[in-house]
Homo-oligomer: A and B are copies of this chain.
Amino acid sequence: MIDGFGPEDRSGLTPVDGGRAPRPRRPAAGVVSGGPPPGQPAPALVVADDPATAAVVTTRNLVKAPSCTVSEQHAADGSAQAIVINAGNANVATPDGDAHALALASSAAQELGIDTDAVLVMSTGVIGVPLPIDRIQAAMPAAVAALSPAGAADAATAMLTTDTHPKQVAFRLSDGQGSATIAGMAKGVGMIEPNMATLLVVLATDAPLGTGLVRQLLRRAVKVTFNRISVDGDGSTSDTAALLATGSAPTPPGLDTLTRGLHAVCADLALQVVADGEGASRVAGVTVRGAATESDAEALARSVATSLLVRAAIHGADPNWGRILMALGNAGVEFDPRRVSVRCAGITVCRFGVAASFDRGQAAAAMQRDEVTIEVDVGSGGAQATVLTCDLTPEYVRFNAEYTT
């Protein structure tokens, strides 16, 4: 866990199955999932027993995947029952992309016996290659047959591309009012700079949430989690996050617990995405405090987290506060450099804008961890924000010089 990322108050939130290791998670009650057997082109499915309230957030990239557009249209009425996900082909920049995205939805709907506009669509993978829609449609019966209450791990695996492992998390929420479950799965390791939404994220809860509330909660959770991570500064064309709320929990907890639960699920998945970032060897949480506004704090933290020189220094376990100062100065935010202090892995390396006295060897040793923190105080006010990133490694470059997305 990275301090400052996710809800501070985790009372009433119990991780299902504990820990963060990639293993099967029970989905929210009333939701079944499934992925195809290995080698089959069938898509993954997440299906609620009945129509659920639903919200979707998609990429702000102008070149938007047809799957994003179809999902937005189908969630426009605040309701959905199923999500169909294909990995390996983004269905972007192809002549029949719009028709193929709709065909994915209608094919799943037909096999499930529900309306086409109750199906959301997510596609991820190579850009510019026509989707093999015939083969996917032919495999749809196998995908529906694989649906099961214990199938979430299969679906989380089927949606991966260059990810090294599936990303899942679930929390049991309970307070004085009642209890519910909230669960999520995500994929994504590259083209990750979701200044809007993110990668592919499927979230489900059995709590009853009205259509206005499901949208509001999703937007806020995405804003402070998936929108505050960066692997390479490149925003994908296919980013989509969807939340289904089935309402099957008989006595749900209060709104505060639900809000914190969704925040925790999104923060945990976001951390898993960054930790699996292409070529990454460690995760860094960049926290900026003492900013005039939250958006200033976010802009400053983002500038540090996306600086190639800072990320290369993190790879080298180098407490290079000069590069951090440089990145802060490029954020387009006003502050007084003489009031800035910087801590790397808990060690103060810069105070009032100049070098602090510290043991470089000790600081370098402290940065040799899987998760490191960079804490900046700009001394301008009381707002703060944390942005997650991973180190920039030679493996990232090698991988992306050789892989055609």
Contact = CB atoms under 8 A, between A and B. Distances in A.
Contacts of A127: 322-323, 325-326
Interface in A77-120: 90, 92-95
A382 interface: no
A235 interface: yes
Interface in A353-405: 353-355, 392-402, 404-405
Contacts of A50: none
B315 A93 contact: no
Contacts of A92: 322, 325
A128 interface: yes
Given A63-B337, A93-B354, A329-B61, A397 B322 contact: no
A232 B313 CA distance: 13
B236 A62 contact: no
Given A127-B325, A320-B404, A397-B397, A62 B337 contact: yes
A309 B354 contact: no
28 contacts: A62-B328, A62-B333, A93-B350, A93-B353, A94-B355, A95-B354, A127-B322, A127-B325, A128-B321, A128-B350, A128-B354, A129-B355, A191-B309, A233-B233, A234-B308, A235-B330, A237-B326, A308-B308, A312-B396, A312-B397, A313-B401, A313-B404, A315-B397, A318-B401, A322-B405, A323-B405, A393-B397, A394-B398
6 closest A-B pairs by beta carbon, nearest first, are A127-B322, A316-B401, A63-B329, A394-B394, A312-B400, A61-B329
Interface of A: 61-64, 90, 92-95, 126-129, 190-191, 193, 232-237, 306-309, 312-313, 315-316, 318, 320-323, 325-331, 333-335, 337, 350, 353-355, 392-402, 404-405
Given A92-B322, A323-B405, 12 more contacts: A62-B329, A63-B329, A93-B350, A126-B322, A232-B309, A309-B405, A315-B397, A316-B400, A318-B401, A322-B404, A396-B397, A397-B397
